[in-house]
Amino acid sequence: MSQLPNQPTEGPVPTSADVARLAGVSRATVSYVLNNNASVRISEPTRRRVREAATELGYVPHAAARSLRAGHTRMVLLPTMNFPAGPLHHRFFHQLESGLRRLDYTVVQYGSTGLDADDAPRAWAELRPVAVIAPGTIALTPQGISVLRRSGAKAVITLGPRPVDGAHALVMDQREVGSCATGHLLERGRRRIGVVMPEESGLGLFAEPRLAGARQAALSHGARIEPLPLRYEEESAARLAARWRTMGLDAVFAYNDEYAMLLMRALQDAGIEVPRETAVVGADDLMLGRLLRPRLSSVRMELATPQPLADLVDRLVQHPGGAPECHDLLRARAVHRESS
Amino acid sequence: MSQLPNQPTEGPVPTSADVARLAGVSRATVSYVLNNNASVRISEPTRRRVREAATELGYVPHAAARSLRAGHTRMVLLPTMNFPAGPLHHRFFHQLESGLRRLDYTVVQYGSTGLDADDAPRAWAELRPVAVIAPGTIALTPQGISVLRRSGAKAVITLGPRPVDGAHALVMDQREVGSCATGHLLERGRRRIGVVMPEESGLGLFAEPRLAGARQAALSHGARIEPLPLRYEEESAARLAARWRTMGLDAVFAYNDEYAMLLMRALQDAGIEVPRETAVVGADDLMLGRLLRPRLSSVRMELATPQPLADLVDRLVQHPGGAPECHDLLRARAVHRESS
DNA sequence: TTGAAAGCGATACCAA
DNA sequence: TTGGTATCGCTTTCAA
């Protein structure tokens, strides 16, 4: 049986001094024992007394006091984005966090919506994180980076569609997705390609580079690329479908599978045959796309394993001050089904 | 023009003592000025000199030192769940966080996967949060709650399908979803109702109460409830559909819209007519369900606005020690479309 | 109006 | 093997 603390009532929070008093030793000894300090030899009976006193009081060390004394933290701060992450990102962050915890870092997400580009880094800096990994959806200015640096952050890393000056970058280059989808359509003989641009705010950060990638891929084939603004609503899709034939497109890259499903339904309802008249390609390779008829072609994305990234953070923390590195994390490949 | 800091180079982190030195005042004065301490009057020229010195050095206060001195933090800690939150939860958390920040709390998410039920609360307690809001996907034992309490947490709140002893509870009672879906099917004359139980781990926490709710609703009508294990894969759905007619069901509540779409497709492929032979109801009311033919009936869920919750936290922090409160956040209602 | 100094909790050096 | 003590950065009381 684990020994339950005796006083579940409100009271002052026990400190190492309380443990020391109860164990009949000094605070120094308590510290040695509880941190398994190898450079000092403490007798086994003393160790036991200290440990028992600690559990009896329900002692938990005070991270703030410790890091104040140490002069640094082991906190890695991840500002959170202001919109839902897909399962892909989610798994990535989850594994990254596990990897960092294995390296003995404390990983903390800090919701930063509503803070502007200057306030946010200040707020983060107050916690004195040793590393910051900021998603691309968070604006990170050179000033912000500088604030973090001088507050003691050894590693400032951006994680998003494109690198940011002065920080290390983990790039998930969305152009790759656009060029991959477009390449697939080109291969299948399509030359007049629409590219859905979601009108929902926040998605532009991903949509723009995907469009750019599509343009780039189309260039060599002399294909036409036509941006198609679309809201994630049936009426918006119906309007787009109604004027579809006037646009003379033979294919569409629909930003992702959800927009693709929305648009494909609207096209079918408007009597446009998929894929004969218009090919449709999504992205994300959701299970649901496979349930449509025709089954939805898609772009499957894969992220690099996060462990090397965790190691990178650790390396930067231990040897700060190298030149900014830039790693590409995103791999995309087209998955042909029936809609293209 | 905002004054850019002059030394972007590595160096010691500036402290209030540095600011004091540069401004030619004492550390006390710096503290008074930067915290707008009203109980003490500082001359305007001095204030200006202090502020200028602070921005010149890029001074950022040290949260750990401050809270060590103050004897308490204003940190609200949200242990993060180990699986992706839907847009509903996501919006809720986001708004909750904003509400808390308005009340001047620092909101921090702490990824806790891989920590067991004893270690996790200890790890949280090291940060000395003034409040902890733990999702139901995190096991929170009475011991864990006790550890948090004695580490100074004024408010320990669980947020999930069911309350936990000794903590305040924000309940999102999933039984409501099950009984709502089942009630809808009963109203439409169905009496032999299958309930999809996802086999993916972690979902049981939601699926079980939904099943219980379905059972409860069926009771008064003498209807039959049949749990149907299902993996989120086409083959699993196809197998279930293949033996569908042997089970004699006239309706199915498919856990959520995604499982519903998967199963409905499999049923249709197996020649079973929806809704004539079998009615299908999902949950979440996703846009995508409206794109199917027949359009998917669903259960729309709504969460209470988070602002009262933020206020609750604030109240508990200021006046700790009331009896555990229990608030119901989830509202569900059936949305009839064509599949039922 | 400003400054000196105590003290929050934990750690590590130096003495004993 | 153990204890005393200075120290980290900041706030606040008390004194000037």
Q: Which pLDDT score is estimated for A161? A: 87
Whether residues B151 and A287 touch (CB distance < 8 A) is answered with no
CB-based burial, B64-87: b 16+ in 10 Å, e otherwise: bbbbbeeeebbbbbbbbbbbbbee
Fold classification of B70-171+304-331 (topology level): Rossmann fold (3.40.50)
Option in A85, A111, A127 nearest B97 (CB): A111
Q: Which two tokens stand for residue A9?
A: 């009532």
Distance CA A207, CA B153 (A): 43
Confidence of residue A10 (pLDDT cuts 50, 70, 90): low
A295: left (phi over 0), alpha (psi -120 to 50) or beta: beta
Domain-wise residue ranges, chain A: 16-61, 70-171+304-331, 175-301
Q: Which pLDDT score is estimated for A4? A: 41
Of chain A residues 94-133, which have a CB less than 8 A from chain B?
94, 97-98, 101, 106-111, 113-114, 118, 122-123, 125-128
Distance CA A74, CA A213 (A): 39
Of chain A residues 273-302, which have a CB less than 8 A from chain B?
287-288, 290-291
Residue A9, pLDDT > 60, answer: no
Distance CA B276, CA B279 (A): 7
The full length of chain A comes to: 340
Contacts of B109 in chain A (CB under 8 A): 80, 108-111
For the CA of B6 and the C1' of D16, the distance in angstroms is 37
Is the Cβ atom of A251 within 7 Å of strand D at any atom?
Answer: no
The full length of chain B comes to: 340
Q: Is some CB atom of chain B closer than 8 A to the CB atom of A14?
A: yes
Q: Which pLDDT score is estimated for B71? A: 96
Q: What is the CA radius of gyration of chain B?
A: 27
Name the residue among A32, A35, A30 with its Cα closest to residue A17. Answer: A30
Kindly report the CATH class assigned to A175-301: alpha beta
Fold matches, A16-61 and A175-301 = no
pLDDT digits (tens, 9 = 90+) for A47-90: 999 999 999 999 999 999 999 999 999 999 999 877 777 889 88
Whether residues B80 and A109 touch (CB distance < 8 A) is answered with yes
For the CA of A52 and the C1' of D3, the distance in angstroms is 20
Q: Which pLDDT score is estimated for A29? A: 96
Of chain B residues 216-245, which have a CB less than 8 A from chain A?
232-234
Residue B76, pLDDT > 90, answer: yes
pLDDT digits (tens, 9 = 90+) for B98-155: 999 999 999 999 998 888 889 999 999 999 999 999 998 888 999 999 999 999 999 9
Q: Which pLDDT score is estimated for B10? A: 67
What is the architecture of the domain spanning B16-61?
Answer: Orthogonal Bundle (1.10)
pLDDT digits (tens, 9 = 90+) for A199-257: 998 899 999 999 999 999 999 999 999 999 999 999 999 999 999 999 999 999 999 99
Option in A86, A109, A122 nearest B60 (CB): A122
Distance CA A267, CA A281 (A): 13
**Nearest-neighbour CA in chain A from B79: distance (Å):** 9
Residue A3, pLDDT > 80, answer: no
For the CA of A103 and the C1' of D12, the distance in angstroms is 39
CA closest to C1' of C5 belongs to B28
Strands of chain B (E only): list them: 75-80, 106-111, 131-135, 155-160, 168-171, 192-198, 224-230, 251-253, 279-281, 298-303, 326-328, 330-335
Residue A297, pLDDT > 90, answer: yes
Burial of A59 (0-12, 13-18, 19+ CB in 10 A): buried
Average model confidence (pLDDT) across chain A: 93
**Residue A67 dihedral angles phi and psi, to the nearest 5°:** -75, -25
Contacts of B67 in chain A (CB under 8 A): 64
pLDDT digits (tens, 9 = 90+) for B212-245: 999 999 999 999 999 999 999 999 999 999 999 9
| Chain center to CA of A146 | 22
Is the Cβ atom of A30 within 7 Å of strand D at any atom?
Answer: no
pLDDT digits (tens, 9 = 90+) for A154-191: 999 999 888 888 899 999 999 999 999 999 999 999 99
Task: Let me know: does A30 contact A23? Beta carbons within 8 Å.
Answer: yes
Find and list the nucleotides of strand D having atoms within 7 Å of a protein beta carbon.
1-5, 7-13
- Among chain A residues, CA nearest to B125: A60
**Residue A281 dihedral angles phi and psi, to the nearest 5°:** -130, 135
* Beta-ladder partners of A113: none
Distance CA A20, CA A273 (A): 79
